[in-house]
Structure 1
Amino acid sequence: MRQNPQYGARLRPVDLARAHGLSTQAVRNYEAAGILPGAERTPHGYRTYTPLHAQALRAFLALVPGHGHQTATSIMQSINRGTTQDALRLIDESHAQLLEDRRTLQAVEGALRDLGPVPQERGDTFVGPLASRLGIRPATLRTWERAGLVHPRRDPQTGYRVYSAADVRDALLVRQLRRGGYLLEQIAPLIVQVRSAGGVAPLESMLRDWHARLSARGRAMLTGAAALDAYLGCRRDDADRGRAE
């Protein structure tokens, strides 16, 4: 009697590997990591897989683009341990992080929009006048300097901090983001981007790319959810058949 090709087929590691462009060692590693259910063994000790394993591999590979390798691994491990609720919590956390990233992007866009062009003032600005302009204490500017958000130079004669127009731009941007509730460590990467771009205007392409990456991540999460749902369905069907037998 021929085995049902959907439920009874036996697959070699190479069969799973070739179907997904992987090495057989990668398939074995995924099994060892708990991403795939444990394989059965032949009397000679060779691994044999089933379509359930193939579906698990498809689910994992579909989850990685949206959730990252580490979270996708934890999701599959939880499901294969039978703790599906833990897997669903991890998925919820990924979606919450995506929403937070979207809000961060909106805050950055708002800060840049409110910032406007930096006036090209003649001469440099010292800590007192700049702090007064920003509505903050001089000590706050020094805190931002220690965090790497502003880089004033020192007057060689007096040792006073001297802020250039670019420094003023960075300080204005930090103030806007701080008003939005963002921490200094969250602001630092953006300031690096502003400096490397040579100002705010060139960041428009970066923001468009940021939007595109968030959208791609959201779509990838949908694709991963569909593949994971299919895997859960296969596990349920497999369990039902086991009880029936």
Structure 2
Amino acid sequence: MGKNLQSEVRLRPVDLAREHGLSTQAVRNYEEAGILPAAARTPHGYRTYTPLHAGALRAFLALLPGHGHPTATAIMRAVNDGTVDEAFRLIDESHAQLLDDRRTLRAVEDALRDLDREPTTPPERGGTFVGPLARRLGIRPATLRKWEEAGLVHPHRDPRTGYRVYDGAAVRDARLAHQLRRGGYPLERIAPLLAHVRTAGGLAPLEATLTDWQGRLSARGRALLTGAAELETYLRERDGDRPA
């Protein structure tokens, strides 16, 4: 019965487009990209769609917020090509990325809490040299130099001696890098976070950013669930439309 209904109902591009506020050209583009199954044609060459195509469009648009356009497109192409396991793999990758992002956020939050608990020693007038700062952090001077090469800290040079001098911002960056490294954070992931701290003007403005970050992760998690539900609906319609 489902198969007959799908095959008898005919929809125009405008019928699919109107439901989502899209242009008919967008619907045609989605079909050409493999997001929708290939449409049948009338004797005059006009596209005709079925409820199955409408379901594919709903699934794709539901996948977009959680997966992004490239991955959502790849998921629908895989489903329509009959390689559903590839679609599931892509979905798993998006969930794994979300989990990794949550762990990243937690590591940053833990590092900030650790910094708040640490007694702060104001840097010497004019800044702190590499040796005293390394001793304060319990690391080797070579480690600080390695962090500098990786872009984590930015000491300036004493114009008379050429020694590295760490001002208050550089000391803060070194302390935050130290906490993140203790948490197993790789250097290449720390540098962008510290750049964000500098852009925010310090740690205090970063708190609002972390709250916003958490909200966006939660929204993405919910979007993944919504996309999965619509895709499951489409898969059921698609499987029911297949001949036995």
Could you tell me the TM-score, scaled by structure 2's length?
A: 0.92
Per-residue CA deviations over 1:125-172 (Å, capped at 9, x if unaligned) read 011211222222222212211222111111111111110011011001
Write out per-residue CA displacement over residues 185-218 of structure 1, whole angstroms, 9 at most, x where no aligned residue: 2112211121122211221111110110011001
Pairing 1:199–2:202 present: yes
Task: Name 1:143's counterpart in structure 2.
Answer: 146
Identity %: 72
Residue 122 in 1 paired to residue 110 in 2?
no
RMSD over aligned Cα atoms:
1.6
Q: Could you tell me how far 1:113 is from its partner in structure 2?
A: 0.3
User: Measured at CA, do residues 7 and 44 of structure 1 come closer, stay the same or move farther in structure 2, by a change above 3 Å?
Assistant: closer
In the alignment, the residues of structure 2 paired with residue 77 and residue 130 of structure 1 have an alpha-carbon distance, to the nearest angstrom, of 55
User: Contact conserved, 1:9 with 1:51, CA < 8 A, in 2?
Assistant: yes
What are the within-5 Å matches in structure 2 for residues 106-185 of structure 1?
Answer: 106-116=106-116, 118-123=120-125, 124-185=127-188
Contiguous gaps of at least 5 residues in structure 2: none
1:214 matched to which residue of 2?
217
Q: Does the 8 Å CA contact 1:76/1:87 hold for their aligned counterparts?
A: yes
Q: Which moved more, 1:211-220 or 1:131-140?
A: 131-140
Mapped contact 2:148–2:154 kept (Cα < 8 A): yes
Partners of 2:211 and 2:82 in 1: CA distance: 41
Q: Secondary structure at the match of 2:204?
A: coil
Q: RCO higher in 1 or 2 (8 Å CA, sep ≥ 6)?
A: 2
Q: Report the count of equivalent residues.
A: 238
User: Secondary structure of the residue that 1:186 maps to in structure 2?
Assistant: helix
Structure 1 spans left out of the alignment, 5+ residues: none
2:227 maps to 1:224: yes
- What amino acid sits opposite 1:8 in the alignment? E
Contact 1:119/1:165 (8 A) holds in 2: no
Provide the TM-score with structure 1 as the length reference.
Answer: 0.92
> Aligned partners of 1:152, 1:122: CA distance in 2, in Å?
14
CA distance in 1, matches of 2:168, 2:112: 16
1:160, 1:193 → 2: CA distance? Answer: 27
- The residue type equivalent to 1:154 in the other structure is R
Q: SS of 1:162's equivalent?
A: strand
